[in-house]
Structure 1
Amino acid sequence: MTAWIPLLSRRLNQLAGGLAMVLIIYITGHILLEIGLRLAGLSTYVLDEFVGYGVATMTFLGLGYCLERGSLIRVKLLVDKLPSRWHWLPELLTTLVALFTFSTLAWIWGKNVWRSYQRGTTSDTLAETPLWLPEGMVWLGMVLLCLTLLAHALTLFTHTDDKQGAR
């Protein structure tokens, strides 16, 4: 019944991971362009701002992708002391705590994004970037991470019954 959640999470994380990779290329290109322009005494005047937005977006969009692939740092000091059939329990508990924490952060951050949109808040730079755009991308990354954590928790919970029945 909930098998579609991990599939949706996986597909959205692939898309977000692809976007994060494109942002790496953009950041590299913008830095190289700025170097070339500065050699000629010119500048885009937005390097710091746009690269900062790109790094924040890339970081948060990549979190779910990394979690899904087991690329985030995990400390298994306590888990390794448990019998292998119980390894799922602390992982489920930490996943649920992380889901609660990031859901709360995403809720608060989402309200901030909405406020920036409603007020038309812009950056204090030459570009006057509407702040809801980079803030919204960070929020999207948080939501994708929450979806990935939910999918992981559901997978742990549903596969636990299979593991218990096999023993």
Structure 2
Amino acid sequence: MARLIRRGLDALYLAAGVGAALCLIAILVLIVAQMLARWTGTTFPGASAYAGYAMAAASFLAFANALNRGAHIRVSILLNAVPARMRWALEVWCFGLAAAIAWYFTYYAYWFTYWSWKFNEVSQSQDATPLWIPQSVMVIGGGILALALSDHLLHVLIKGDHRITRDLVDQSMGE
């Protein structure tokens, strides 16, 4: 059962990373379409707003995958300089605090999105997109990050070490 959950979580983190990559491709397509529209003398109303939504979605969807691949900033030099027991305590404290903040953010982002939906808020730009749509991606990405941080916290508590793969840049700094 634990192996199935592990594979499911890893697939979720990877899917979020793929979703972030697709959002970056969508930004490219939107910018090129806006350029073509200008060159042909037509307009593409809302293109910049859609690109902004895609950028926010790419950011939030990429958080968990980036965490698992070691792309987030960590103070490894401090963690490597302390004894093993102190390192474990620091890892628990860092993952615990980060998970609590991420869950707190996700909770309030959910309610923010809910009230945007409830009051039918739309963007102020030409596209008049219902704001709950791009905001919901923020909630999903924040929830996946909170889940990933909680996953790492549990792994540190149970196994004694996190599951973050070491980035090549981190390895090349003499650690």
TM-score, length of structure 1 as denominator length:
0.89
Task: List aligned pairs for 1:143-162, cutoff 5 A.
Answer: 143-160=143-160
TM-score, length of structure 2 as denominator length:
0.85
Q: Which amino acid aligns with 1:43?
A: T
Q: Deviations over 1:55-94 (max 9, x none)?
A: 0010001000100111111112432221245423211210
Residues of 2 paired with 1:157 and 1:3: CA distance? 18
The answer on whether the counterparts of 1:6 and 1:151 sit within 8 Å (CA) in structure 2 is: no
1:14 and 2:23 aligned: no
Percent identity for Structure 1 against Structure 2: 26
Larger CA deviation: 132-141 vs 78-87: 78-87
1:59 counterpart residue number: 59
Query: What is the aligned-residue RMSD (CA, Å)?
Result: 1.8
1:89 counterpart residue number: 89
Structure 2, gaps ≥5 residues long: 162-175
Residues of 2 paired with 1:154 and 1:10: CA distance? 15
Which structure has more RCO (C-alpha within 8 Å, separation ≥ 6)? 1
Q: How many residues align?
A: 161
Residues of 2 paired with 1:156 and 1:4: CA distance? 19
1:164 counterpart residue number: none
Equivalent position SS for 1:126? coil
1:69 and 2:52 aligned: no
Alpha-carbon deviation of 1:105? 1.0
2:121 counterpart residue number: 121
Larger CA deviation: 8-17 vs 79-88: 79-88
Residues of 1 paired with 2:79 and 2:5: CA distance? 26
